[in-house]
């Protein structure tokens, strides 16, 4: 990411006298900076109350709070005056210079550039304004808690007294950022924003959108992946009281009614004849066996170093082969997919709980063959996301229903729709062969992976159909460990099954297999699993430090009687780039009286760079454990005749309050490295640590998920 070294700040005063502050990070050579659309980041009312304007989707992951901390810290604003959060209405890619998709750890990652610069620029602006009014040198002024202070005269301006004098600023250079010591908000465990609206029922999610004349739609989609509508008969559906219209849309038939219940009843009454397409004779088992064939016939050799076949041919040392299978996994966000759309001849307005923003908007424009300026998309709060909402399918559906029916419609997916028409984490097969030589050094690593082609379904339209689109299926196959002979390959099957990102992309299976194999090899070679990892990570300081911390915890906490312990390491990035994180995981498991296996304790050591909000960070780790355990226990979507067999929380159960780890301990290594979020990152390490502990406890090899008898 290149960041301009010159900042531009613009403010606008609204009709109610509020100040909206914009920052622009344009190129210094931009001919006419006023013309550029700057990024709005806060609004300040005439009384000094602050509304944070959120560039990122809020799905409970905490980044809007972190981003507000970054801005308000740099601008030296009074946190107690932060009274509201509003979604950005920005509809122009040039404003933020990206599509505002909320995935990965990028909210914090990018926010550390943009929000810091915005906040510092505004602080500088207030200082300049005060200096002008007082006719003093701005360098002698200081700022704190939404005030500019002149230490010489003791005079004070509250920021909100300076609106009128706040000039449009071209700051000759980016103002200095605060040091860690100067920070007042970054690093503090502040409570999440929007909590009060969330406990009073006032929070408005996509599904809560309401206005006079709005209809509700449900869609009947082909139960078989890739199937299409042959014909349909709407007579009986139209007889249902409250049903207004039945229309065909691009992927099914929609029933539009006065309310959800009538729409759903109408759908039940609808008869559709489908062309079930090529998948109708396929099951997840048959697909898995085709994927297994791919392990020996990969499509891509990702990395090859040393001479793997020569190394594996030598008959010294210890060689281990591990085979792993992972099922399709569904997101099951608490709020099912939904979107409200109102398409008229010249207008298209959308309200959507989306993790996307501009991508979705642009895809709608393309779909309707209209200019993107004519599409207005309001992002709402999201009831969970986990990657599902980065897709635009449900947005386009709503638009199509509205266009074809002529009504403004709120499209609601039933839970069954949500489970059966997800963008699943791909079914995957892995095989890893590893070898320790006679000195116990890891000398060979041969890994093959197969998954369902993720490229056609990539959440980012620009990556669809490209090699980058495959990243979603193969991310994480590259171990951080230094191994002299290494071979990484993967293959994929292109099928009409929608697959995509799910909390941690594919690291959830790639890193799972890697970490189980490392632990197995250590055991076979009589080595400590942590010192083997430490040795293999010796050249990566941050990674090594994480393992060292884990070693300390391991030493300080003897394994309780009857329990067994497993470890794992997870990471992304490489030295030299900013996007990096490292985490170490340790899990103790024990058998309960009923024979099931309970996670007794999990330790997580994390270096995600500078920690913006330690409370939010830890909260994400705690909740990630429940998510991991849901998946390992019962996160299985299976296909029969090309159709998903599960449909709701009864056959796709998720963790309840008693289903977590009995104890959790977290150590954050708070460094000055570039900060990263952690909402999605923890799956990659928590799961294999638990798997390794179970393998140790039971003596039975774990070959993926689900894991039997996991409590």
Partner 1 sequence: MINLFINGKSFSFDGDEDMPLLWFVRENAELTGTKYGCGIGQCGACTVHLNGTAVRSCTVAMADVAGAKVETIENISSGNKKLHFVQKAWIAEDVPQCGYCQSGQIMATISFLEEFPNPTDDDINKYHTNICRCGSYDDMRRAIHLAAKLQAEGTSS
13 lines the binding site for partner 1 (CB under 8 A): no
Indicate whether 334 belongs to the interface with partner 1 (CB under 8 A).
yes
Q: Is residue 424 a contact partner of residue 230, using CB atoms and an 8 Å limit? A: no
Q: CA of 71: how far to CAs of 22, 97, 185, 578, in Å?
A: 12, 18, 9, 20
What is the closest distance, in whole angstroms, from the C-beta atom of residue 102 to partner 1 in the complex?
12
Length of the chain: 711
DSSP bridge pairs for 493: 452
Asked whether the bond before 706 is cis by omega within 30 degrees of 0, the reply is: yes
188 interface partner picked from ligand FES, partner 1, none, CB below 5 to 8 A per type = none
Partner touching 191 among partner 1, ligand FES, none, CB below 5 to 8 Å by kind? partner 1
199 binds, among partner 1, ligand FES, none (CB under 5 to 8 A by kind): partner 1
**Minimum CB distance to partner 1 smaller for 265 or for 590:** 265
Q: Beta strands of 114-251 (E only): which ranges?
A: 142-144, 147-149, 156-158, 169-171, 215-221, 228-233, 243-249
Beta-carbon neighbour count of residue 435 at 10 Å?
25
Q: Which of residues 607-636 bind partner 1 (CB under 8 A)?
A: 615, 619, 622-627
Mark residues 328-367: x for contact with ligand FES by CB under 6 A, - for none.
------x---------------------------------
Query: Closest CB to partner 1 among 357 and 389?
Result: 389
Name the one range near partner 1 by CB under 8 A: 160-168, 275-283, 340-348, 383-391.
383-391
Torsion of CA 622, 623, 629, 635, to 10 degrees: -160
Q: Which does 689 bind (CB under 5 to 8 A by kind): ligand FES, partner 1, none?
A: none
- According to CB under 8 A, which one of 84, 197, 233, 236 is a site residue for partner 1? 197
Nearest to 691, CA basis, from 558, 512, 466: 512
Residues 639-658, interacting with partner 1 (CB under 8 A): 648-650, 654-658
Exposed / middle / buried, residue 341 (Cβ in 10 Å: 0-12, 13-18, 19+): buried
Give the CB-nearest residue to ligand FES: 334
Cα separation, 617 vs 442, in Å, equals 34
In 89-162, at which residue ranges do the beta strands (DSSP E only) sit? 142-144, 147-149, 156-158
Torsion over CA: 538, 541, 546, 552 (sign): positive
- Residue 33's binding partner, choosing from ligand FES, partner 1, none, with beta-carbon cut-off 5 to 8 A by kind? none
CB of 140 or CB of 622, closer to partner 1:
622
Does residue 491 interact with ligand FES by CB under 6 A? no
Q: Among residues 12 and 666, whose Cβ is nearest to partner 1?
A: 666
> Quick one: which of 48, 322, 383, 479 contacts partner 1 (CB under 8 A)?
383
Determine if 60 is a binding residue for ligand FES (CB under 6 A): yes
What is the three-state SS of 208-231? HCCCCCCEEEEEEECCECCCEEEE
What are the residues whose beta carbons fall under 8 Å from the beta carbon of 516, sequence distance 6 or more?
A: 322, 324, 688, 691, 692, 695, 702
Which does residue 88 bind out of ligand FES, partner 1, none, counting CB within 5 to 8 angstroms by kind? Answer: none
User: Judged by CB under 8 A, which of 198, 372, 441, 591 binds partner 1?
Assistant: 198
Radius of gyration of the chain (CA): 27
| Strand 50-54, strand 82-87: pairing | parallel
512 φ, ψ to 5°?
-55, -55
Asked if 259 interacts with partner 1 (CB under 8 A), we say yes
Segment near partner 1 (CB under 8 A); pick from 30-38, 57-65, 460-468, 550-558: 57-65
CA distances from residue 489 to 81, 474, 687 in whole angstroms, order as listed? 54, 9, 23
Question: Applying CB under 8 A, does 180 fall inside the site for partner 1?
Answer: no
Binding of residue 500 to ligand FES (CB under 6 A): no
Indicate which of partner 1, ligand FES, none lies near residue 77 (CB less than 5 to 8 Å, by partner kind): none
How far, in Å, CA of 256 to CA of 384, rounded? 26
1 CB neighbour count, 10 Å cutoff: 11
Least distance CB 280 / ligand FES (angstroms)? 31
Which parts of 61-90 interact with partner 1 (CB under 8 A)? 61-62
Rounded Cα–Cα distance for residues 637 and 649 (Å) = 12
| Among 384, 406, 496, 706, interactor with ligand FES by CB under 6 A | 384
By CB under 8 A, residue 207 contacts partner 1? yes
- 3-class SS string, 256-269: EECCHHHHHHHHHH
In the list 265, 431, 585, 600, the residue contacting partner 1 (rule: CB under 8 A) is 265
In terms of CB distance, is 207 or 505 closer to partner 1? 207
At CA 527, angle to CA 523 and CA 529, rounded to 5? 70
Interface contacts to ligand FES, rule CB under 6 A? 60, 334, 384
Interface contacts to partner 1, rule CB under 8 A? 58-62, 191-192, 194-205, 207-208, 210, 216, 241-242, 259-262, 265, 332-336, 381-385, 412, 414-415, 615, 619, 622-627, 648-650, 654-658, 660, 664
């Amino acid at each position: 990411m290149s960041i301009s070294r010159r900042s531009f700040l613009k403010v606008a005063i609204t009709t109610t006298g509020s100040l909206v502050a914009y920052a622009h990070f344009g190129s210094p050579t931009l001919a006419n900076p006023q013309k550029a659309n700057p990024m709005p980041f806060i609004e300040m009312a005439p009384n000094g109350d602050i509304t944070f304007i959120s560039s990122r989707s809020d799905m409970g992951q905490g980044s809007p709070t972190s981003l507000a901390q970054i801005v308000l810290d740099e601008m030296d604003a009074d946190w107690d005056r932060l009274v509201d959060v509003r979604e950005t209405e920005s509809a122009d890619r040039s404003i933020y210079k990206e599509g505002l998709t909320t995935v990965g750890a990028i909210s914090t990652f990018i926010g550390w550039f943009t929000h810091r610069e915005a906040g510092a620029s505004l602080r500088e602006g207030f200082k300049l304004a005060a200096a002008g009014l007082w006719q003093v040198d701005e360098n002698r002024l200081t700022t704190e808690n939404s005030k500019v202070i002149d230490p010489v005269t003791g005079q004070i301006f509250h920021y909100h007294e300076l609106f009128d004098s706040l000039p449009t600023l071209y700051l000759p250079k980016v103002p200095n950022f605060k040091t860690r010591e100067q920070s007042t908000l970054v690093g503090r465990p502040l409570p999440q924003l929007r909590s009060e609206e969330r406990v009073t029922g006032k929070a408005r999610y996509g599904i809560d959108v309401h206005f006079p004349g709005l209809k509700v739609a449900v869609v009947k989609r082909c139960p078989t992946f890739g199937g299409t509508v042959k014909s349909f008969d709407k007579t009986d559906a139209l007889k249902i009281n409250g049903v207004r219209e039945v229309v065909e849309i691009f992927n099914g038939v929609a029933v539009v009614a006065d309310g959800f219940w009538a729409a759903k009843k109408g759908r039940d009454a609808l008869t559709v004849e489908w062309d079930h397409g090529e998948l109708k004779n396929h099951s997840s088992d048959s697909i898995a066996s085709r994927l297994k064939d791919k392990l020996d016939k990969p499509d891509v050799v990702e990395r090859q170093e040393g001479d793997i076949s020569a190394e594996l041919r030598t008959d010294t040392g210890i060689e281990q082969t591990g085979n792993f299978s992972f099922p399709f996994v569904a997101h099951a966000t608490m709020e099912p997919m939904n979107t409200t759309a109102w398409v008229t001849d010249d207008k298209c307005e959308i309200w959507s709980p989306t993790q996307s923003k501009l991508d979705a908007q642009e895809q709608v424009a393309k779909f309707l063959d209209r200019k993107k300026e004519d599409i207005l998309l309001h992002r709402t709060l999201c009831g969970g996301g986990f990657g599902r909402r980065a897709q635009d399918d449900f947005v386009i559906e709503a638009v199509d229903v509205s266009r074809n029916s002529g009504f403004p419609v709120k499209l609601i997916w039933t839970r069954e729709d949500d489970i059966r028409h997800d963008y699943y984490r791909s079914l995957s097969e892995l095989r890893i062969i590893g070898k320790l030589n006679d000195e116990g050094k890891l000398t060979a690593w041969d890994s093959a992976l197969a998954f369902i082609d993720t490229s056609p379904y990539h959440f980012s339209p620009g990556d669809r159909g490209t090699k980058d689109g495959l990243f979603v299926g193969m991310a994480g196959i590259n171990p951080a460990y230094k191994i002299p002979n290494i071979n990484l390959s993967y293959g994929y099957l292109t099928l009409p099954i929608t697959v995509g990102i799910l909390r941690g992309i594919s690291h959830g299976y790639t890193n799972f297999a890697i970490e189980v194999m490392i632990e197995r090899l250590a055991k076979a070679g009589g080595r400590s699993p942590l010192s083997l990892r430490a040795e293999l990570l010796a050249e990566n300081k941050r990674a090594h430090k994480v393992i060292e911390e884990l070693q300390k915890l391991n030493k300080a906490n003897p394994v309780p009687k009857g329990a067994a312990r497993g470890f794992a390491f997870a990471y992304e990035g490489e030295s030299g780039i900013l996007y990096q994180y490292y985490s170490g995981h340790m899990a103790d498991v024990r058998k309960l009286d009923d024979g099931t296996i309970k996670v007794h304790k999990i330790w997580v050591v994390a270096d995600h760079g500078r920690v913006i909000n330690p409370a939010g960070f830890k909260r994400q780790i705690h909740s990630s454990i429940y998510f991991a355990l849901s998946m390992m226990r019962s996160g299985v979507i299976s296909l029969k005749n090309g159709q998903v067999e599960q449909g709701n929380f009864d056959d796709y159960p998720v963790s309840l309050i008693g289903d977590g780890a009995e104890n959790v301990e977290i150590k954050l290594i708070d460094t000055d490295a570039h900060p990263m979020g952690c909402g999605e990152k923890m799956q990659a390490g928590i799961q294999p640590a638990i798997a390794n502990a179970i393998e140790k406890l039971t003596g039975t090899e774990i070959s993926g998920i689900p894991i039997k008898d996991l409590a």
